[in-house]
Structure 1
């Protein structure tokens, strides 16, 4: 089976390509590095030519309103090219609970992408994953100071990128789901507790302060970002994953919120 993996040189994409090729398929990675631009359409038809399956793992360059235009354009271009190429399966990676947080531009954009796929001309599969374990450091850095990290109590159920990639590869190699598969890690934590566990594992002496108004996840209500009934539970526990990742968290620039302003 030949698969075109768009975004195939990124963190998840490169692992998906490795998994598919190890299973005996022909998975070809495509990205701007290889001359494929999903916004202008440059190189897209050539990338999808002869592909049985299209796997779209691209992402917006920012989490603000720009992401809406990105997914509207990129998904429309890829779906049109997939129809022209005769591909019989289109797979995307999305986020568990993404349609339950309309306050976040990025989540509304991913919901838009899902809608375009469902209404599109190609049989499809959607894999929704919870927040990546690899993303937790970034989440903490958004509200990290010299001595403290301010975090809301939002429940999260982090999943390892390797487990996500394995699931995406499995789905891509199978028949179209015509629906959604949810994937989550085995453990659920309030974000403030997740922060304390992470800091302790890294030997970081900063303290966590509960602040339900701080950061992007303050806009999430309830447990909508955790696994629901029927979700697949991945095998990797966060504490085990942490043992292999011990870099101290630093504080990069804070991302713009949904209105384009900077979070406090």
Structure 2
């Protein structure tokens, strides 16, 4: 089965391509550096020729509200239009657990807009909601750092390894459309401030982590369980300690 992976040269996309290829599929990495630009449409029709599934794991290069909205609206609309013309039977998109509960954030409003385009399209679909990746903890920490202090709401988070996210996306892509959302999460639940405190200590990062119930998460207020699945979710196997042990020595 030919499966085109938009964002197929990135952190998750490259692993999805590898996993699908290992299962015998014709997995094609589609990204600007392979000649496919979903914002302009360049190379998109050619890449989708003969494809049965399109997997979109691309992300906006900016977390600002306007640019993120423009990226997700344009890229997703171009993909879905090209998929209809090519007869693609399954659109798979990677999104974030809690997106619908994070609408105060401009970035997450952009993700909501992306999901709306997908659900309103005639192309059968599956949306994979993943919890935050271990690999993104640096970005979360830096966004919350002001004057050397990391202020984070002491709420639940259930992070997972990018490899486990990729495995979940690949599994969904190889199966039938769900026409709904599949949630995936890590095997362990932490308090966000405790998690970051642990990670910084492991890296000998001297920044102080302060628990602040009013701290914003990329512009959005957080409830106790905003960042964790609302119900049952598939759990990735990789623990924080296992992920840390696998990182290159610093």
Distance 1:163 1:69 in 2: 29
| Aligned pairs (5 A) from 1:137-216 | 137-144=138-145, 148-216=149-217
Once residues 70 and 61 of structure 2 are traced to their aligned partners in structure 1, the CA distance between those partners, rounded to angstroms, is 11
Question: Aligned pair count?
Answer: 248
Q: Report the Cα offset of residue 215 of structure 1.
A: 4.8
Q: CA deviation at 1:95?
A: 0.4
Structure 1 segments, 4+ long, off by >6 Å, are: none
| Counterpart residue number, 2:228 | 226
Report the alpha carbon displacement of residue 4 of structure 1 after superposing the two structures with TM. Answer: 0.7
Q: Does the C-alpha gap of structure 1 residues 59 and 37 become closer, same or farther in structure 2, counting only changes over 3 Å?
A: same
In 2, distance between residues paired with 1:145 and 1:125?
38
1:128 aligned residue: 129
Shift of 1:220: 2.1
TM-score normalised by structure 1 residue count? 0.88
Deviations along 1:170-221, one digit per CA (max 9) or x if unpaired, are: 1001111111100000111111101111112223343322233445356222
- What residue ranges of structure 1 are gaps of 5+ in the alignment? 249-264
Alignment of 1:10-49 (within 5 A): 10-49=10-49
Residue 12 of structure 1 deviates from its aligned partner by 0.4
Measure the CA separation in 2 of the matches of 1:180 and 1:230.
Answer: 12
Measure the CA separation in 2 of the matches of 1:50 and 1:94: 26
Query: Are 2:115 and 1:114 aligned?
Result: yes
1:63 counterpart residue number: 63
* CA shift digits 1:137-179 (9 cap, x unpaired): 2211223468643322132110110000001001001111111
How far apart, in 1, do the equivalents of 2:152 and 2:226 lie? 17
